[in-house]
Structure 1
Amino acid sequence: MRKLGVVWVLVWCLFAGQAQAQSAKAIIATGGIGGVYYYYGTQIAEILTKANALPATAIQTAASVDNMLLIRDKTEPDKKTYFLATVLPDTAYFTVTGKHEKFAEKPVKATILWMMYPNYLHLVTTAQSGIKSLADLKDKRVSTGAPGSGTEFTALNILKAAGIDPEKFKKWEKLGAKESDEALANGTLDAYFWSGGLPTGSIVELANTLKRKGLDLALVPLPSTDPGVAAFMNEFKGLVDPQVVKKEVYSLSDDVPTLAFWNMFVAPESLPEDLAYTVTKTVFENLETLHASVKPSKDTTAENTARFIGTTAIPFHPGAVRYFKEKGLVK
């Protein structure tokens, strides 16, 4: 009789967990169309929905900063509506600690579910523009990314570190990935910043468009020896690494030094532990689907995430940690 009672308790817990997942819903904040965030987040929503783990919808946003605002201001635990999001690590750190101006009075309470893939800072131009370094951006027509995006946050901070005032550009634009590509291809822009995975599909398409116009795609080198880059790296210690974009990625003439950041998939602290566990488990049990749909996601692996647990300035969600412990990757 006692054993029967235990069985009933276990069954009740199982159905209670399923009921909770069925009544809750997730909205996944991504980025602009053309960027990896958008396609990554859309695929995560499809995986969760098709597996009946949690009804999820992906939405287009201006990316990182906007996404953290949505987690802070639009998550409604009482209505079981939770915003999950893709975000750059520097943006996540500044918004969680209140160092970002929009979060100074009310930092976002967010946690990490898993690490996505390294984001590479692209300073996109043409070989014919004459732009060879950060310093060459002065008196040029430049876009620093969509307002409220992680790209904008990174671009403005690296320009500040280099002592470059965007107000003094010949023309200062604030465009998303797709709009920046079009402006560069149409000759109304000299260069633009973009932070994304390798390869970023819209930049691959841009390279082809430029070729048809007799132009060549180029990325401006951002080596750690550049004074502006060095100052930026010092400001964001532990959040940025010097990396290289191989010439084969975008059919460039040479490998290009740049900076890389590990993207994070984050959730509000208020996301129940069982739901955080279910979301994480479902995604990592369907990695083949994700990898086949989004090339940069090849770096989304349990092993890559496990090595960050316990080392990041932003904590991991207990539900996510539980999954990686079950896999034997975390003690």
Structure 2
Amino acid sequence: MNHPRLLDRRLFLGAGVAAASGLLLAACTEGKPPEYLLGTGETGGFFNEFAALLARTVETAGASFRLVPRPSAGTAENLQLLRAGAVNLALALADAAAAAPEGLESVGRLYQNYFQLAVPAGSPIRAMSELKGHVVSLGPDNSGTQFTGLRILEASGLTPRDITLRPVPLTEVTGAMGRGEIQAALFAGGFPVLAVDPDSGPRGSTAIRLIDLSAEQKVLRGRFGEVYMAANIPAGVYGSAAEVGTIGVASLLLARPDVPASAVGSIVEILVARAAELIPAGALGAQYLDARSLISTSGIGLHPGAAAAYRRLHG
């Protein structure tokens, strides 16, 4: 399989993106509240689950508008859609957003995502540098996981030419490993990621083991700064006997500048006041919905509606 070109800044500037429905700003009809499209992620993933919870909470909170989740491949596609006006809001990993922040405005920082590199439990592979010559999934094409995965790969001393890159949907990862189609897969979320956990995933899921990414985290932090945080997956997750070092990257909720300040402010108030309703099952141990972390948006400036809401709430 041909290796896709390493993602670069041009991917995030939205060049050539076709917005099939044009600029989608608060589409509404008489008697129906405005609707804002929210770019999410792949089925079974953290972004998809969080977006569904947020949309439901916006409705139950009695907001004057509705959020409509719009599935996507993830961060990279979401940034394209946001810039093209095909969605009004979007979820994105902070490192990919920070790589090209032009035109982006943040509603708030949400959860920390834990990057997890898995191999079959019986695999002899013990380090990312040992993936040379193997078939590996670094997440779906056009996803933030792949963006970060390529950076992690290079931090290990490898290049995309050293592996056969085969993107596999999250819900098919363990099956692909069991059939020998891939020898390793990178994914991100809380812990465990339910779609790949043998205890909660599809029947007959392949048992997995995580690879320590502590060395790669140090390299990435040295190159790109605090957006790459040291993190750990506790013992017992996926049946592991010991804690595993990994890489933490925050997720951001972004909005187009033309989304009304009142709507963005209402979302902020919901994030603060109804945080307990917004914890995906896959976000165990990764709760970041509080005032101190919400405004830590990795250099992406706050939407005016968000900034005003934080001032009202916390002075």
Q: Report if TM-score (shorter chain) is over 0.5.
A: yes
Alignment partner, residue 66 of structure 1 = 77
In the superposition, the TM-score normalised over structure 1's length comes to 0.78
Pair 1:282 & 2:270 matched: yes
Separation (CA, whole Å) in 2 of partners of 1:136 and 1:207: 29
CA RMSD of aligned residues (A): 2.7
Shift of 1:22: 6.3
2:91 maps to which of 86, 98, 111: 86
Checking the alignment, whether the CA contact within 8 Å between 1:63 and 1:87 is kept in structure 2 is: yes
Q: When you count helix as a share of all residues, which structure comes out higher? A: 1
Alignment partner, residue 303 of structure 1 = 291
Evaluate the alpha carbon distance shift between residue 300 and residue 241 of structure 1 in structure 2; reply closer, same or farther with a 3 A threshold: closer
Separation (CA, whole Å) in 2 of partners of 1:288 and 1:255: 27
Separation (CA, whole Å) in 2 of partners of 1:293 and 1:168: 35
Alignment partner, residue 46 of structure 2 = 36
Evaluate the alpha carbon distance shift between residue 207 and residue 132 of structure 1 in structure 2; reply closer, same or farther with a 3 A threshold: farther
Separation (CA, whole Å) in 2 of partners of 1:278 and 1:307: 15
SS where residue 296 of structure 2 aligns? coil
Separation (CA, whole Å) in 2 of partners of 1:308 and 1:270: 22
Separation (CA, whole Å) in 1 of partners of 2:295 and 2:85: 31
Checking the alignment, whether the CA contact within 8 Å between 2:129 and 2:158 is kept in structure 1 is: yes
Shift of 1:298: 6.2
Alignment partner, residue 16 of structure 1 = none
Pair 1:177 & 2:170 matched: yes
Separation (CA, whole Å) in 2 of partners of 1:321 and 1:293: 29
Query: 1:262-287 deviations in whole A, cap 9, x for unaligned?
Result: 11111112222122112222343332
Separation (CA, whole Å) in 2 of partners of 1:46 and 1:120: 25
Pair 1:157 & 2:142 matched: no
SS where residue 279 of structure 2 aligns? helix
Evaluate the alpha carbon distance shift between residue 128 and residue 71 of structure 1 in structure 2; reply closer, same or farther with a 3 A threshold: same
1:139-288 to 2 correspondences below 5 Å: 139-169=133-163, 171-205=164-198, 216-223=207-214, 226=215, 228-288=216-276
Evaluate the alpha carbon distance shift between residue 156 and residue 272 of structure 1 in structure 2; reply closer, same or farther with a 3 A threshold: same
Question: What is the percentage of aligned positions where both structures have the same residue?
Answer: 21
Separation (CA, whole Å) in 2 of partners of 1:174 and 1:244: 25
Alignment partner, residue 4 of structure 1 = none
Shift of 1:59: 1.8
SS where residue 72 of structure 2 aligns? coil
Shift of 1:161: 2.7
SS where residue 111 of structure 2 aligns? strand
Shift of 1:297: 8.7
Shift of 1:65: 0.6
Q: Flag the structure with larger Rg.
A: 1
Checking the alignment, whether the CA contact within 8 Å between 1:120 and 1:259 is kept in structure 2 is: yes
Evaluate the alpha carbon distance shift between residue 294 and residue 244 of structure 1 in structure 2; reply closer, same or farther with a 3 A threshold: closer
Q: Which amino acid aligns with 2:301?
A: P
Aligned residue pairs: how many?
Answer: 286
Shift of 1:293: 6.0
Q: Which runs of 5+ in 1 are unaligned?
A: 1-18, 76-81, 97-106
Separation (CA, whole Å) in 1 of partners of 2:264 and 2:295: 19
Q: Which runs of 5+ in 2 are unaligned?
A: 1-28
In the superposition, the TM-score normalised over structure 2's length comes to 0.82
